[in-house]
């Protein structure tokens, strides 16, 4: 695949600018999209200093939103960097891709949002039956976890608090 093809694919899949698609492996029901971060350096999550010293890499598979009715799996080549800060206790760190996927998550941010929306719109149970038809895969417990993740977000501050005018007995 030439560089023009990969740029076109990256724009079609609407991935963050820092992620480049290297290859796509299609089957009738599934797309495997191989991608990697194009930035030369990454910031240490502890001391925030950038490093270009690559220690190694590994492949991480995460589920993504469907494409043309087909399930999509992103196989991300994730790099490990050496932190160059002497005092930093973190000698090796893994690059983060927060615009695409959270640490340790098994699905992209956007697939998470789609499942949350479906879960709330269908009360979870119907969503479980609906997602295979939409090119996704999620069990009932997955829906519940996605919905609970939303419900534990801290509430915004209250500006105006109203109290209903109600009493057991009017005086």
Binding-site ranges for Zn ion (CB under 5 A) = 44, 46-47, 83, 85, 88, 90
Query: ∠ CA 49-59-47 to the nearest 5 degrees?
Result: 15
CB 83 within 8 A of CB 49: yes
Nearest distance from C-beta of residue 91 to Zn ion, angstroms = 8
Residue 108 CA to residue 33 CA, distance in Å, equals 13
Candidates 95, 93, 83; CA nearest to 51 is 83
Nearest distance from C-beta of residue 89 to Zn ion, angstroms = 8
Query: What are phi and psi for residue 78, nearest 5 degrees?
Result: -105, 130
Closer residue to Zn ion in complex, CB, 90/129: 90
Closer residue to Zn ion in complex, CB, 6/85: 85
Nearest distance from C-beta of residue 103 to Zn ion, angstroms = 16
Closer residue to Zn ion in complex, CB, 85/109: 85
Closer residue to Zn ion in complex, CB, 44/136: 44
């Amino acid at each position: 695949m030439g560089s023009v093809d990969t740029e076109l694919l990256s724009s079609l899949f609407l991935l963050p600018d820092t992620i480049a698609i290297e290859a796509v492996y299609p089957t009738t029901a599934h797309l495997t999209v191989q991608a990697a971060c194009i930035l030369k350096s990454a910031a240490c999550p502890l001391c925030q200093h950038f490093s270009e010293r690559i220690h190694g890499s590994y492949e991480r598979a995460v589920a993504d939103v469907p494409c043309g009715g087909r399930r999509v799996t992103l196989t991300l080549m994730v790099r490990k960097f050496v932190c160059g800060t002497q005092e930093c206790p973190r000698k090796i760190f893994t690059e983060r891709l927060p615009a695409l996927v959270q640490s340790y998550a098994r699905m992209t941010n956007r697939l998470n949002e789609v499942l949350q929306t479906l879960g709330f719109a269908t009360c979870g149970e119907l969503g479980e039956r609906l997602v295979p038809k939409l090119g996704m895969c999620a069990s009932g417990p997955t829906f519940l976890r996605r919905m609970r993740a939303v419900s534990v977000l801290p509430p915004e501050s209250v500006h105006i608090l109203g109290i209903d005018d109600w009493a057991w007995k009017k005086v």
